[in-house]
Amino acid sequence: MGFFYFIVFIFGLTLGSFLNSIIYRLPSGESFLIQRSYCPYCKHKLGWKDLIPIFSFLILKGKCRYCHQPISLQYPLVELATGILSVLIFWIFNFGFDLAFGFWNLIFYLVIACFLIIIFVYDLKHYIIPDKIIYPAITLALIFNFQLSIFNQFSILKFSIYSALGAAAFFGAIVLMSRGKWMGVGDVKLAFFMGLFLGFPNILIALFLAFFIGAIIGIGLIISGKKTLKSEVPFGPFLVVGTFTALFWGQAIINWYLNLFL
């Protein structure tokens, strides 16, 4: 079983390398399927030995083989995060061992994880949540919930839409009240997706954690002098962290909270 998870981790690292390519090329609109990877400084096309996830970064000591410019830490961190999340998806949901759950459900969770990783990094770098990522994520979540509603005969789609509308309305109100100074429209779209993806009550866990973690980090940045009260801080990364936490441990958090009152 350990070897199986090792293979999953290696697959996740490779997937993370692909996500780095998408993140880098999204602003310019370059193809991430046809065009070969290249150094962003010297534009030299990279060979296979330059593209081994994490190991190439370590072997090259964080510098381009050709122009010796520093390679961003984003690349190994995204690869490592994708590897870890891939293992968590297989482990938490018992993929590979519970065939009844279905191969397509596995693909769904992996693809959604990829969307969320891209949103996390892209919003952190550019202060915007790209429509090219959030709209396909919303569409995929709708399709997934629709097929669950058909096969399980539950009102999953209805409750997920209610959760999505509620989360989006909450963020929309913040955008209107602050005139876009506290939140952006991209956060409203992401909140809508989170409601579809997580449903109730996990959406509440995700939003609470996002605001809680965001507040702690925001206060830390202000105390350290890196930000002021008027500084812009992207909220998308906190929403993504809240989403992953609620996905993997939402029920455990709810049970812990309820036990406090028993």
**Helix (H/G/I), strand (E/B), else coil: 124:** helix
- Predicted confidence band at 104 (pLDDT cuts at 50, 70, 90)? confident
Lowest mean pLDDT among 110-119, 138-147, 202-211: 138-147
Tell me what pLDDT residue 167 has: 95
What is the rounded CA–CA span in Å between residue 81 and residue 193? 21
For the chain, the average pLDDT equals 87
Tell me what pLDDT residue 35 has: 72
What's the chain's Rg over C-alpha atoms? 20
Q: What is the DSSP letter of 100?
A: G
What is the rounded CA–CA span in Å between residue 258 and residue 262? 7
Domain boundaries, the chain: 1-126, 128-262
Rounded to two decimals, what is the model's pTM? 0.91
* Tens digits of residue pLDDT in 37-89: 888 888 888 887 888 899 999 998 889 888 989 999 999 999 999 999 999 99
